[in-house]
Structure 1
Amino acid sequence: MTNKGLRYLRWGLLAAILVYITVAAFLHQQSGPEKAASIHALCPYGGLETLYSLMFSGSFVKKIFSGTMVLLVLSLIITLLFRRSFCGLLCPFGALQEFFAKLGQKVLGKRYTMPDKIDIPLRYLKYLVLLITLLGAWITGTLWMSPYDPYAAYAHLSAGFTELAEEYFIGLILLVVTVIGSFVYDRFFCKYLCPAGAFYGILGKLSPNKVERNEAKCIHCRLCSKSCPVNIDVEKATTVTTAECINCQECVNVCPQNGAIAIKQGKKEIPALAVIGLVMGIFFGGILVAQATGFYKTLPAPVTEGSIVNVEEIRGSMTLADVAKGTGLSQDVLYKKLGIPENVPPETRLKDVSQYVEGFSPETARELLRQTP
């Protein structure tokens, strides 16, 4: 396959993953978590956020399941072998940024880069975000950062502006900043704010994978540096091992001089197509194996009679009928405890009850059930 073909292959794979995640997020909003997985359950970083809770209490934080841990393990394997290939070849939010960057280059007519005195300090911000998000999740035992997460806000776009404004206002602002920033500067969130990218960057330092430039064959056209989505000056490097590299292979695939830039696994050169094949094989092959063995679950167990033993288990996506069944209460008793009119359909999800009862929320339901015997 030609270098140009490899570039289109990577973009096509990223586009397919982005479409899949977008559709999954839409279905989750329309059908609820019992029928479609949430964005958190399909993100490897959620596995890292729940790691402390899993190790010390044997349970996952809300919205995280065994499948999320499978995704985390597979992404760690990929990182140890091929550095931040998850970011460059698999991440849907990275894909969204890169496609907006391509659009921005068409509209603006050029690629812009942040001045070094601003860019370099900002690159360290994502490591601070990594520390804060993990400590917060491990201390609270919740995905507390979700309302501030632009990726979560993106997944809730189909929920409508009202829910976005109420639950993901900061996340929505950061999503807009990310899109506009990537339109101008390319992979804006990846470079400056992404905690997962920071984690993979640190772990990727253990990988034998790297990009090498052959000075003797290099014609110094600077296409490698100009094409890099994270603005690494490849043309001035002999070996690219920085934690910023997302192993997207753009620098290799735009090089017009055969042998001037190559991907190395230790001392052995490895074709770009082989890297794509291995990364995809490990990730999606691992998912298939986990599914076949029953370890890959991204949906909550169905609500059964008396299955809700703690009101904290009640979720906004549950219907009133689910809550009644799970708590063992009759529908009449539940409606009376929650102050819900009889004409509200039992198929109404808790987060939608506010359409009938002003100011009602899932937390209202939990609080009222806590108070009443």
Structure 2
Amino acid sequence: MNTNKKIKWIRAGLLSAVLFFVTYKAYMHNVLGGGSDGSPSVHALCPYGGLESLYILLSTGGTLPKIFTGTIIVFVMSLMVAFLFRRAFCGTICPFGGIQEFFAFIGKKVFKKRFIVPSSIDRPLRYLKYAILALTAGAAWKTGELWMSPYDPWAAYAHIFEGPAALIDEFPIGTALLIITIAGSAVYDRFFCKYLCPMGAFLGLVSKLSPYKIERNKDVCIDCGICAKTCPVNIAVDNVESVKSIECINCQKCTLSCPKEGALKTRFAGKNIKPAILLSLVLLIFFGGIGLGKLSGYAQFLPEPIAEGELIQIDEIKGYMTLDEVSKHIGMPINELYERLGIESTVPSDTKFKEISNYNPDIDTHTAKDLLKSE
């Protein structure tokens, strides 16, 4: 196996590893919740949460609910990678990109080809992700909430472990978009990245400042077109002298698939840089920054524990809290709590708040909070 093939496999392995890690964390979040002893939500692990929190961070020094200092570090590291090496986060790290490539692989086996959207449709649709960026970030800044969550296919994916009912009730649009993304990726590479991803749109804008680019030596190029055919975002690499498009996710598929040595070169600030070195630097910057944040104690992905005897507002009740914890932290006797929620006294007090519908099918967590507020 030559070096280029090894790098391809390493990149695929990296995407798979990140996807597995985040999927495992999402499963554990469903099991343990997102408390101080639980597991982070995907919102806390996604750099877009940092962008959504940017306004409140700059104005008050705080973050949105479910977003923590660790999320801000992930956001900053993704920006640094984009500034230096364009959208390499999208092409080598993003777990949702990994999902798309997995179903693209399956689609290639089934359909034996990739479909192409006509340029007259494809080009205007590419601007949709910028509108989504403006809408979702602006709404988060204005409302002070993760406004996008019910519409987010990534959030829907993270809640698959809760079952179809939860997906339909809590993430109807996000679930629909997840299905569309999977189906689209099976026939057309990086469907979500091209048309719908707000974080990709933002990183693309940042990448305009990057000193990195891919150059094509037309005197060496044999015009085989393999580079363009392998590009998952359909950049016509074989028709340009250098790839500067903000659509480029820096996956290196074009350079690693080129059969003619010297036809395509990866360049940083006017200097050649080998794909293996590039991949190593991306990983070092992104994961190294997060690692330093963890070692320093600054990168937190879970909330601080609620102090013994501390009272909270009813709206601050979390689904992972037990009924006993809810009783203590809102200052309501446990028997009154049970009475207001319409559940039998035989229900264990260590039942999680989000599980009360198992004992009273007529209420969910939102209705339960309203019942606890009533006089």
Is 2:88 the counterpart of 1:85? Answer: yes
From the superposition, tell whether residues 286 and 50 of structure 1 become closer, same or farther in structure 2 (CA, over 3 Å): same
SS at match of 2:43: coil
Question: What residue is the counterpart of 1:202 in the other structure?
Answer: 205
The corresponding residue for 1:296 is: 299
**Aligned position for 1:219:** 222
Which deviations, in whole Å up to 9, do the C-alpha atoms of 1:21-68 show, x marking residues without a partner?
111111111111121110000001001101112222332211111110
**Bigger Cα displacement from structure 2, 230-239 vs 303-312:** 303-312
Whole-Å separation in 2 of the counterparts to 1:258 and 1:283: 30
Partner amino acid, structure 1, of 2:32: S
Aligned equivalent of 1:114: 117
Can you list the C-alpha shifts for 1:276-307, whole angstroms capped at 9, x where unaligned? 10111111111111011111111122233343
Give the counterpart of 2:231 among 228, 238, 241: 228
Contact 1:308-1:314 at 8 Å conserved across structures: no
With 96-105 and 177-186 compared, the bigger mean Cα shift is at 96-105
Q: Where do 1:1-373 residues align within 5 Å? A: 2-34=3-35, 35-372=38-375
The CA deviation at 1:84 is 0.4
Q: In 2, Cα distance between the equivalents of 1:240 and 1:312?
A: 50
How many pairs align?
372
Deviation at 1:359, TM superposition (A): 2.1
Out of 352-361 and 64-73, give the one that drifted further: 352-361
CA distance in 1, matches of 2:203, 2:340: 48
Structure 1 contact 304–325 (Cα < 8 Å) conserved: no
Q: Tell me, what secondary structure is at the counterpart of 2:202?
A: helix
- 1:370 to partner: Cα distance: 2.8
Secondary structure at the aligned position of 1:231 is classed as: coil
Q: 1:308 to 1:65 in 2, by over 3 A?
A: farther
Aligned partners of 2:16 and 2:52: how far apart in 1? Answer: 26
Displacement of 1:143 after TM fit?
A: 0.6
Check the 8 A contact 1:305/1:327 in 2, yes or no.
no
How many angstroms does 1:182 deviate by? Answer: 0.5
**1:89/1:308 CA distance change after superposition, 3 Å:** farther
Residue 204 of structure 1: how far off its partner (Å): 0.6
Deviation for aligned residue 1:220: 0.7
Q: Which moved more, 1:270-279 or 1:309-318?
A: 309-318
Unaligned 5+ runs, structure 1? none
Asked whether the equivalents of residues 33 and 319 of structure 2 are also in contact (C-alpha less than 8 Å), the reply is no
1:221-243 CA-to-partner distances (Å, cap 9, x unmatched) read: 11100000111110001111111
Moved more, 285-294 or 312-321: 312-321
Q: How far off its partner does 1:364 sit?
A: 2.1
One-letter amino acid of the counterpart of residue 23, structure 1:
Y
Distance apart, 1:192 and its partner CA? 0.2
Which structure 2 residue ranges, 5 or more long, are not aligned?
none
TM-score with structure 1 setting the length: 0.97
1:243-284 CA-partner distances (Å, limit 9, x unpaired): 100000000000011110011112101111111101111111
Corresponding residue SS for 2:300: coil
Give the Cα separation in 2 of the matches to 1:307 and 1:117.
59
Higher mean Cα deviation, 119-128 or 107-116? 107-116
Check the 8 A contact 1:305/1:328 in 2, yes or no: no
What is the deviation of 1:145?
1.1
The TM-score normalised by the length of structure 2 is: 0.96
Higher mean C-alpha deviation, range 344-353 or range 297-306 = 297-306
SS at match of 2:266: strand
